[in-house]
Amino acid sequence: MFFGVLQNEGRLSPADWRRIDPACDRLEIEIGPGDCRYLAEAAAQRLDTLFVGFEMRPSTLRSILARGPLPGNVRLLHSDGRWVVENIIGKNSVDAYHVYFPDPWWKKRHHKRRLFRPAFAEAVAATLKPGAGLYLISDVSMTFADAQKQLLRAGLLRLDWQRHNGASGSYERKYRRQGRPLYQARFQRPGPG
């Protein structure tokens, strides 16, 4: 279904995702799930939602899979999330994006690997359903500020957001334990939620 049998101008529609798990009415995507802790916990709590992770590092995916089965409403794809969001995800089809602790890629020659680039931010805005949003947390103020600039430029609205309970990822737990300052917000597509 993913590469090869795409319809809808080559983009995945909500109906395509429902074929993966007919019990799921909603689609949430995490870019860079790392050890997948957030996705696994969130999926176990919300069975009406298909949680899809795009993870670029094969060694990370291997270690997730070695730990045992994930909830049935989680799917992981080995991919560059930027490319998939920009080229494959259908317009107006995503209920939430999760981006937790995107790699800062400090060195100038590595800047091109940063997740947030104009085409990605514009694709996030176009693929979210109206009223849906991207949840962003970073411990690096520069990474957060750069992502925010691009998401606002793509037309999303910044809303104050902080997780109080519920599922959370490994980096978030570690940094909260350490008392590290975290930069976080929800970037919402305008429209009825």
Ligand X SMILES: C[S@@+](CC[C@H](N)C(=O)[O-])C[C@H]1O[C@@H](n2cnc3c(N)ncnc32)[C@H](O)[C@@H]1O
Within residues 63-82, the interface with ligand X by CB under 6 A covers 80-82
Residue number with CB closer to ligand X (111 or 130):
111
Q: Segment near ligand X (CB under 6 A), from 67-75, 95-103, 123-131, 146-154? A: 95-103
Residue number with CB closer to ligand X (39 or 156):
39
Within residues 6-35, the interface with ligand X by CB under 6 A covers 31-34
Q: Residue 119 interacts with ligand X (CB under 6 A)?
A: no
DSSP bridge partners of 100 = 137
Number of Cβ within 10 Å of residue 118's Cβ equals 11
Active-site annotation holds for 146:
no
Residue number with CB closer to ligand X (170 or 184):
170
Q: Segment near ligand X (CB under 6 A), from 15-23, 148-156, 158-166, 167-175? A: 167-175
Residue 78 CB, nearest approach to ligand X (Å)? 9
DSSP bridge partners of 77 = 54
Q: Residue 123 interacts with ligand X (CB under 6 A)?
A: no
User: Residue 90: which of 17, 191, 190, 32 has the closest Cα?
Assistant: 17
Q: Residue 116 interacts with ligand X (CB under 6 A)?
A: no
Candidate list 17, 116, 135, 171; residue touching ligand X; CB under 6 A? 171
Query: How many C-alpha atoms does 98 have within 13 Å on its Cβ side?
Result: 25
Candidate list 6, 20, 44, 56; residue touching ligand X; CB under 6 A? 56
Query: Hey, which residues are catalytic here?
Result: 103
